Amino acid sequence: MTELSAQRRYAEDAAVVLSGLGLPPAYGKLLGWLLICDPPGQTSSQLAEGLGLSKGSVSTGMRLLESSGLARRVPAPGHRGHAYEVRPDAIIRIAADAAKFRVFRELMEQGLAVIGGEEAPGSERLRVMRDFYAFIEREMPRLVERFESEYTGKGEGDG
């Protein structure tokens, strides 16, 4: 068995971490690779070769990364088609979108209505989740703003 490069090992580790969150291993490998690869833009063929994935796995994984907002298509100089890259601020853009937290809060509110309201038996789990999502929905924009202020204050912003 051949020794994996440090870059490939990192991608494999990312796959393990994200698999633990219920995401497909290819998603984690692709994200891990795109975070450290050089050049930062990689074609589907480069991704498949670098990670030992099938073109189908690359295609499926990249669709997930694109739809989640973590990756985007970019021109691939010297290649037909496009390449993929991770935006440096991708996770900030995702976290700053309060809509996803609102959707979960509203789902918990709907659950409370289904079981008979705030004081119904078994309502605590829904109330706690609703209140948590309401908190995140309210606070996340402030946290992102604070992070951006502190980060750009260091003069290190590149995204």
Q: Per residue in 122-145, pLDDT tens?
A: 999 999 999 999 999 999 999 999
Domain boundary among 67, 87, 107: 87
What is the total count of domains within the chain? Answer: 2
> Do 30 and 65 contact (CB within 8 A), yes or no?
yes
Domain encompassing residue 128: 92-153
Q: Which of 66, 87, 108 is where one domain is finished?
A: 87
pLDDT at 81 over 70: yes
Which of 45, 66, 87 is the last residue in one of the domains? Answer: 87
pLDDT at 103 over 50: yes
Residue 107 forms part of a structural domain: yes
Among residues 18, 71, 68, the alpha carbon closest in space to that of 44 is found at: 71
The answer to whether residue 159 sits within a structural domain is no
Is residue 54 domain-shared with residue 77, that is, in the same domain? yes
The verdict on 32 and 104 lying in the same domain is: no
Alpha helices in 20-123 (DSSP H): 25-36, 44-51, 55-68, 90-96, 99-115
In one-letter notation, the amino acid at residue 62 is M
Question: Does one domain contain both 52 and 118?
Answer: no
Percent of residues, the chain, with pLDDT higher than 70: 96
pLDDT averaged over every residue in the chain = 91
**Once rounded to an integer, what is the mean pLDDT over residues 101-121?**
96
The pLDDT score that the predictor gives to residue 1 is 60
Residue 158 maps to a domain: no
